Amino acid sequence: MAQSYKSTIAFGVVYIPITLHACVKNNDISFNTLHKKTGERIKYKKTCENCPANLSKDDIVKGYQYEKDKYVILTDKEIDDIKSKRDKSIEILEFVDLKQIDPIYFDKSYYVKPNGAENAFNLILKAIEEENKVGVATTVLGTKEQLVAIRVIGGQMILYTMHFYDEVQTSPVKKTEIKVNENELKLAKSIINNMTSAFMPQKYKNNYREKLLVAIQSKLNGNEIKSKETVVKPNNVINIMDALKKSIELSKKKKTVKKVKKEAQVK
């Protein structure tokens, strides 16, 4: 089920009630853990070292470990009281250019739907769209404080949850001065140009999920699952120039095939 939240956008002294609807749904196929012999579901019981009986929900609290085996306990009410009503609204702090935000900071995306004050909502949407800006805001979604970005794409307001600066790890790759052969670089660029096309997300399929569904149906029909694919091991590159030339020929062939298919579709 797609996740949604009720909130309010604070734009200066203008407050607009909205609902956030998840842009992406989870299509993963989930499995239950079963007992190998009986085929029954495995159940997990909540216990502690000194409690032989199962614990109920009321017996469990949240604790922060500040030293080994030592905890400070916070109740749900105490945690909720830390959040103010203003925290739960989406307060736009500033506007920035989209190109200034590294995509590494983006996490989840939500459609923004107004729940009243449509005129104010449409006004802000139009202003953001025409100025081509991104609103940066803070809010609380569920129990977690979030940094968010609000932008307009094709007349639709989208909210992205973002990672905070201290959550993004430093790259383990050390920066070094890059020195490459100019002829090899020219060939590499040619491969990129031959492989360049318009992004069409609908042409990419989750092949593993589709094969998994087929395998499940096959098992239901009483058939055994057999792998039909062979693993192709990559060749060790001895001469990068030869490898680039071969890659260029391959990319040219693929480009020609795409062109023929496109022309056939037009006819």
Contact indicator for 113, 3 with CB cutoff of 8 Å = no
Between vectors from CA 114 to CA 113 and to CA 120, what angle results, nearest 5°? 135
In this predicted structure, what is the pLDDT of residue 78?
82
In this predicted structure, what is the pLDDT of residue 102?
93
Point out the domain boundary residue: 98, 132, 167. 167
User: Does 224 lie in the same domain as 137?
Assistant: no
Q: Which two tokens stand for residue 151?
A: 């932008």
Q: What is the CATH number of the domain that holds 132?
A: 2.40.290.10
User: Does 245 lie in the same domain as 212?
Assistant: yes
The domain of 217 spans: 182-261
User: Does 221 lie in the same domain as 143?
Assistant: no
User: Does 251 lie in the same domain as 189?
Assistant: yes
Residues 6+ apart with CB under 8 A from 156: 111
User: Does 129 lie in the same domain as 15?
Assistant: yes
User: Does 236 lie in the same domain as 140?
Assistant: no
User: Does 222 lie in the same domain as 95?
Assistant: no
Point out the domain boundary residue: 167, 199, 217. 167
User: Does 205 lie in the same domain as 100?
Assistant: no
Q: What is the pLDDT along the chain (267 residues), one digit of tens a residue?
A: 457 888 888 887 788 899 999 999 888 888 899 999 999 999 888 888 787 678 888 888 899 899 998 999 988 888 777 765 556 788 899 999 999 999 999 999 999 999 988 899 999 999 999 999 999 998 888 777 889 999 999 999 999 999 999 999 998 988 888 888 888 888 888 888 888 888 787 887 878 788 888 888 888 888 887 776 666 666 655 577 777 777 777 777 777 766 666 666 655
Q: Give CA 79 to chain center in angstroms.
A: 27
Contact indicator for 138, 147 with CB cutoff of 8 Å = yes
User: Does 163 lie in the same domain as 193?
Assistant: no
User: Does 95 lie in the same domain as 10?
Assistant: yes
Q: What is the pTM of this model?
A: 0.73
User: Does 123 lie in the same domain as 11?
Assistant: yes
In this predicted structure, what is the pLDDT of residue 58?
83
Point out the domain boundary residue: 122, 144, 167. 167
What b/e readout covers 45-79, taking b as 16+ CB neighbours within 10 angstroms?
Answer: eeeeeeeeeeeeeeeeeeeeeeeeeeeeeeeeeee
User: Does 142 lie in the same domain as 229?
Assistant: no
The DSSP call for residue 206 is -
d(CA 45, CA 50): 14
